[in-house]
Amino acid sequence: NAGVTQTPKFQVLKTGQSMTLQCAQDMNHNSMYWYRQDPGMGLRLIYYSASEGTTDKGEVPNGYNVSRLNKREFSLRLESAAPSQTSVYFCASRGWLTEAFFGQGTRLTVV
């Protein structure tokens, strides 16, 4: 099994550009998450989807949008990238009362 697959692994954007981070899981999990990780800030929740068809804001949703396309896929979109969005982004999925499985991460730099 591939687990959680994130694309791309690395990305450089110019300020104002848009992009979509893709995430797919093959474990039939209901819940999916997007986190960002910055030095000294831990993992901060951007958006999550408790189940197919629902999405909710996390701690730091401003500047982001998400789409739960189906049970497998959960995408994160930056409409107008800003330097403050330079970070490492992790997608994760989780079944009911089980642990979270993380993707390999996307290292995004906005210049």
Partner 1 sequence: GQQVMQIPQYQHVQEGEDFTTYCNSSTTLSNIQWYKQRPGGHPVFLIQLVKSGEVKKQKRLTFQFGEAKKNSSLHITATQTTDVGTYFCAGRAGGTSYGKLTFGQGTILTVHP
- Based on the shown chain and the rule CB under 8 A, indicate whether residue 15 belongs to the binding site for partner 1: no
Please pick, from the candidates 9, 18, 56, 70, the single residue that binds partner 1 as defined by CB under 8 A: 56
SS3 string, the chain, reads: CCCEEEECCEEEECCCCCEEEEEEECCCCCEEEEEEEECCCEEEEEEEECCCCCCEECCCCCCEEEEECCCCEEEEEECCCCHHHCEEEEEEEECCCCCEEECCCEEEEEC
Tell me the two tokens of residue 81. Answer: 């990238």
- Based on the shown chain and the rule CB under 8 A, indicate whether residue 34 belongs to the binding site for partner 1: no
To the nearest whole angstrom, how small is the minimum distance from the Cβ of residue 14 to partner 1?
26
- Based on the shown chain and the rule CB under 8 A, indicate whether residue 94 belongs to the binding site for partner 1: yes
Residue 106 CA, distance from chain mean position? 9
Is 40 or 62 the residue whose CB approaches partner 1 more closely?
A: 40
- Based on the shown chain and the rule CB under 8 A, indicate whether residue 105 belongs to the binding site for partner 1: yes
Is 31 or 87 the residue whose CB approaches partner 1 more closely?
A: 31
- For binding to partner 1 (CB under 8 A), which residues are involved? 30-31, 33, 35, 40-45, 48-51, 56, 58-59, 90, 92, 94, 97, 99-105
